[in-house]
Each structure stands twice: as structure tokens, then as C-alpha cells.
Amino acid sequence: MGRFSFRVRAALQWLCLTAAWALSISISHALPRAQQDHPAAKADYIGSESCSRCHLGIARSFAKASMGHSLTTITPRFLATLSLPATYTDPNTHHAYSVYAQDGKLWQSEFQQAPTNGGMANSAPGQEIFRSTHQISWIIGTGENGYGGLLVRGGYLFQSPLSYYSAAQKWQLSPGYQHADYGFNRILQPGCISCHSGRPRPIAGYDGKYEDPPFSHVSIDCENCHGPGSVHVAAMDQGEEVKGRDDTIVNPARLTRDLSDDICMSCHEIGDARVLEPGRTYQDFRPGQPLSQTVAIFNVAPSRQNPPDMDHLEHYSSMILSKCYRASLNQPAAHQMRCITCHDPHVEPTHAEAPAYFNPKCMLCHTQKSCTEPVALRRATTPADNCIGCHMPRRPITTISHTSSTNHRILARPDEPLPEAIFQQVSPQMPQLMYLDAPAGHPLPSMRARMLADRLLMDKHPDFEADWRTTLATLEKSDADDAQVQMNLGHRDMLDQQFPSALDHLQRALRLDQRLPEAWVDLSSVQAKLGMKDAAIASARASVELNPYATPLQRTLITRLIDAQQYDQAVSAMKQYLARFPEDDFIRKALAIAEQ
């Protein structure tokens, strides 16, 4: 096995170093959570079918709205509505894709064939190099911008490589696949799928792994916004008469503005960094409770030199910058603007119906005379006299092909400058970050949340590293028994090449919590630097066991085996890797070199 070249080793090591920390920091170990005293907080989730018995008209209306069919189980009947079959070839990788129906099921394939004129080493002209085919079990998306597929492999949920784009009317690479070939291995994290489904069932400690079946309710339903309904349904079944406020269920219209907006914000404000609070999962958030109890949402503070220019899934932060919202803060609480001032999630008007539906919302504060455009010009638009068409225009989402999003800043004029308020949303204690879901009276997040946000941001924004180090130094004294703190201390010392102290911190982190793949992969790197080759291999294997579909972790294991000159095991690991990730051209070429 002397043919393992330095070139193969070096390239593998580079891939591991550049990709390993693409893994997100997450905290997914559920602990007992405090319950509020009102009955709704102690309820269980039972599904929207129970709601429709009394609220049939609302249920039928909601089923037609986008959220009402955010995720759809594929059936033979549903297949007939899809644009099939289709093929696509990626011009960068020359990998081909197909999507088709067969035996009442939906399938996607990724494959590659050697050129018919030759030119590909170790392959005959026209020979199929690989083919990966998987059944697609759900469609995610409503078709307004498009839809994609979800599949299950080994208990993990994945995005499919092809999505359908409504504007282009064709299947192309799914969002994100333009930058890398993820094959059928792009894991759906709980934080993502929670906003596209009714009630996912993730397994704590294993990012992207779910119970079987993965959803207790497939599409977004009543309980996503109204909270668990068991107490309410039981009360109604017993014929209890409700007088005044009904505390057996959450009615967002009866909540304070902040608590009502928190429900929408949980999905419509992604932010630049999200950090779960200790012991929390995304399934812990319940309508009527502050979102900040579950997750802290941060945006990088904008500057006049670098103003924000994107508002895709940043609807809340855009809305609070609008003149409409800021002016309403001078009104009594009941008249202050919130998401549901304009939006009723049960109803979704068509493009033609939008003026008749939304114009009266504008007239709550404005009059017909408020608009300075000539009446004839307003009536000449399609649809006619459309307030939101001018003041909330749709614009392309540059990060996702063929898609657009509504601007929620409610501009008086297209060239309206950003309000000065956007540059005043930070504090002297935290000048680089905006804490978007800060609870009233608590403008600063916990030091721990701030440290983890800095960590998530500093690869893309290197200026956050200094704050990460400063905050981490404070936590080293105050929260030394926190696994995430110890893991970050180990990463800091590894960056500083203080390998013995990095080893101590990482080992301590894993004694506190063994389900941290990021800590295992850092520990493997440190052990390799200290010449602990067998231990480095064992740590790499532990990270792979926790997250078997993370290619950076798999590559780290291969590199450790090569460095330890365990070439037979390295070849075996490469073969296992390609069985799971056959689309990886680099590992395929490395294996061919190794077997020469």
C-alpha cells in the first residue's frame, strides 16, 4: 500500500480542515422543562383532526392555504399533479439527475456515465460510473415558488437533489446544491423541518435522525400556532361552557403583541445565527410562551457602509423597521401593529383577490386620500388599486434560483432609505449583534448564547472571533461544567496550538456529554497532533457513529487511518464511504489510486 501518495493524504486533510466545521453547533438534549400554570401549557398534541369537528369551515380554508399543505405525503393520486418525468445535468460536475414516477411512487436518481469518446481513466466509454436512486416520500413546499422532495435513509431525513421551480417550470438543482454536490445526504435538521411540518419527531443527540414515522402530523396544522389541544378538546367534549377568556387553548389574537409575534417569528425570522437555550429543542417552543425561552435569534448588526439587502425569511425584522410599525407603537397596545394585523393564517387570497383582502387592512390607519398616485394610474395596475403591489413588492431571492419574496418593510417609495432605527438596535455591551427575540426588559442574551452565536458567525465574519474569545474567557470561570463551554475552550486552544490543554478541555466536554460530534472530531485532530494515532482513530469513529451521514467526519476517519499507515482499513473505509456517498468523485479517484 505504499502507493498512498502524499498528494492523496494532503488533499484529504485539506478537505477535512475546510469542511469539518460546516457542522452546526446544536444543543438537542431535552431536560425537564418548566410548565406554566394555565391548563393549555399542560396539554398534549393531538392533531388537527380533532379541531375540525367544531371548526370545519376554518379547517377547510386553512387546508387551501400554503401552510395547510406545507408538507405532503406522496400518493399515486398526488403524483398525477407533478411535472414528471424530467432530467437535469449539472454543468459543473457533469452528474446527471432524473425524477420519475414508478409503481405509484416517486423516485430520484443521480448518476454519471463515462464520455462515449473516452477520456475518463479506469472507465470504458459510455460505462456507468455510479448510480444512486432513492424513493422520495414527501413533497416539501406548496408550489408558489416551487417544491422539493424529502427521503429517509437509515432513520435520517434528507433533502433530495432536484427541486421543481414554478417560475422556470422545470426541475433543477435544489437550493444549495449549486455550491456542492450533497447527493442524497443533505440532512434536514429539526430547526428546519419544524417550520415545514406539523409535528416532527427528532431523536435527541442525533442531528437529523427521527423516530419512525418521523412526523406525528405531516403538514403544519392548528397546533403549530394554537398550541397543544388536548385540554381544550376534553373540555369541549365535556360540554364545558367558556365565558370570557378560554385558557384551555392559545388564541394568538388574545396574546400580547410580543407573544403573538413570537409564534410567527419562530419560523419567519431565521436570523444570522440561532442558538438553542440549554436543554431545549425546537419542539419545546409552545405558542403563548416567549420564544426566547427556547431559542435566541441574532442578526449581524448592519452599518451604513454595509446595510442589509436581504429579507427572505426575515419578515419580522423587516416589519419592525417599517413606518407603519414604528408609528403604531405610539398607540394603545390593542392597536399596535403585529403580524396578524394584516395576516390571517387561515386565509390566503389569490393574487387577484389580494387588493380586496389587504387594502382594508391598510385602511385601518390610512384613507383613500393617503395615496398620492392618480386614481387612473392606480386602477391601471394588475390587479387594480393594489396597495401591497406598490408598497410591499416582491423581489428575487438571490440565494435561491427562480424565487421571490415579499418585502415587509412597507416602503412609501422604492428608494426609501433605511430608517435610522436600524443602526440603533444594538447595545454598548453587544455592538456587533442584534438580539431579535429579546424578551421585554431583558435586552441582552445569556453569555452562553452570545458565545455560541459568535462561534457560528466567526467563520464567515472573522471579526466575531475576538468577542467569542472574550466571552469564552468569562464562561470558563462561571460555567466550567457546561459541555458546550468546554468544547469551545478546546477549540480555542486547538486554534492556538495549545494541544495538551485542548485535549483536557475536549475530554472534559465529552465526559459531560458524549453526544457532541464536533467535540469528537476536534479531539481526533488534537490527538493526531500529539502523536496519539490510535486514539485519534477511535475519536474519529465516535464522531461518525453520532453522525454517519456527515461527509467531513467520514473524511477525517479516512485521513486518520492513512496517517496511522493502516492502509487496508483506509481502503475499507473508502469503500464504505462510497457505498453511502457514491457521488463523491474525489474519494472515488483516491480509492483508485490506492488500489493501483
Q: How many CB atoms lie within 10 A of CB 209?
A: 20
Q: What is the pLDDT of residue 21?
A: 34
Measured distance CA(75)–CA(104) in Å, rounded: 7
> Is the CB of residue 430 less than 8 Å from the CB of residue 344?
no
Alpha-carbon dihedral of residues 255, 257, 259, 262, nearest 10 degrees? Answer: 140
Q: What is the pLDDT of residue 32?
A: 30
The string of pLDDT tens digits covering residues 525-580 is 999 999 999 999 999 999 999 999 999 999 999 999 999 999 999 999 999 999 99
Q: What is the pLDDT of residue 35?
A: 36
Q: How many CB atoms lie within 10 A of CB 422?
A: 20
Higher-confidence residue: 393 or 504? 504
Question: 378 exposed, middle or buried (CB, 10 Å; 0-12, 13-18, 19+)?
Answer: middle
Question: 530 exposed, middle or buried (CB, 10 Å; 0-12, 13-18, 19+)?
Answer: middle
> Is the CB of residue 122 less than 8 Å from the CB of residue 134?
no
Q: What is the pLDDT of residue 386?
A: 84
Compute the average pLDDT of residues 324-334. Answer: 89
The string of pLDDT tens digits covering residues 56-90 is 999 999 999 989 989 999 999 889 888 899 999 99
What is the chain's length?
596
> What is the percent of the chain where pLDDT is above 90?
58
CA angle 109, 113, 118 (to 5 degrees): 175
Q: How many CB atoms lie within 10 A of CB 513?
A: 16
Compute the average pLDDT of residues 492-508. Answer: 98
Q: With 90 as the cut, is the pLDDT of residue 237 above it?
A: no
Q: How many CB atoms lie within 10 A of CB 34?
A: 7
The string of pLDDT tens digits covering residues 156-170 is 999 999 999 988 899
Residue 570 grid coordinates: 483506509
Compute the average pLDDT of residues 217-233. Answer: 93
Residue 176 grid coordinates: 444549495
State the residue for C-alpha cell 405610539: 330
Q: What is the pLDDT of residue 24?
A: 37
Compute the average pLDDT of residues 491-496. Answer: 98
* Confidence grade of residue 439 (pLDDT, cut at 50, 70, 90): confident
Q: With 80 as the cut, is the pLDDT of residue 344 above it?
A: yes
Compute the average pLDDT of residues 341-368. Answer: 89
State the residue for C-alpha cell 416567549: 290
The string of pLDDT tens digits covering residues 103-131 is 999 999 999 988 876 656 666 777 899 99
Lowest mean pLDDT across 267-271, 386-390, 398-402, 410-414: 398-402
Measured distance CA(564)–CA(550) in Å, rounded: 22
Fold of 6-28+444-594: 1.25.40
Q: What is the pLDDT of residue 321?
A: 86
> Is the CB of residue 451 less than 8 Å from the CB of residue 468?
yes
Higher-confidence residue: 311 or 466? 466
Average confidence score pLDDT of the chain: 86
Cα end-to-end span (Å), the chain: 9
> Is the CB of residue 293 less than 8 Å from the CB of residue 277?
yes
Measured distance CA(48)–CA(226) in Å, rounded: 10
Measured distance CA(14)–CA(24) in Å, rounded: 19
CA angle 91, 97, 100 (to 5 degrees): 150
Domain ranges, ordered by start, for the chain: 6-28+444-594, 46-226, 309-424
Residue 30 grid coordinates: 431535552
> Is the CB of residue 490 less than 8 Å from the CB of residue 505?
yes
Higher-confidence residue: 305 or 338? 338
Measured distance CA(48)–CA(209) in Å, rounded: 25
Compute the average pLDDT of residues 15-27. Answer: 37
Q: What is the pLDDT of residue 402?
A: 45
Q: What is the pLDDT of residue 350?
A: 86
The string of pLDDT tens digits covering residues 262-299 is 999 999 998 999 999 998 999 999 999 999 999 999 99
> Is the CB of residue 140 less than 8 Å from the CB of residue 147?
yes
> Is the CB of residue 407 less than 8 Å from the CB of residue 401?
no
Q: What is the pLDDT of residue 16?
A: 44
Higher-confidence residue: 451 or 443? 451
* Confidence grade of residue 310 (pLDDT, cut at 50, 70, 90): low
DSSP letters of 517-529?
Answer: HHHHHHHHHHHHH
Q: What is the pLDDT of residue 251?
A: 92
Q: How many CB atoms lie within 10 A of CB 536?
A: 25
Compute the average pLDDT of residues 119-144. Answer: 84
Q: Is 401 helix (H, G, I), strand (E, B) or coil?
A: coil
* Confidence grade of residue 28 (pLDDT, cut at 50, 70, 90): very low
Higher-confidence residue: 197 or 334? 197
The amino acid at residue 249 is I
> Is the CB of residue 230 less than 8 Å from the CB of residue 216?
no
Q: What is the pLDDT of residue 308?
A: 65
Q: How many CB atoms lie within 10 A of CB 346?
A: 19
Q: Is 393 helix (H, G, I), strand (E, B) or coil?
A: coil
Q: With 80 as the cut, is the pLDDT of residue 210 above it?
A: yes
* Confidence grade of residue 354 (pLDDT, cut at 50, 70, 90): confident
State the residue for C-alpha cell 453526544: 515
Beta bridge partners of 217: 199
Q: What is the pLDDT of residue 20?
A: 37
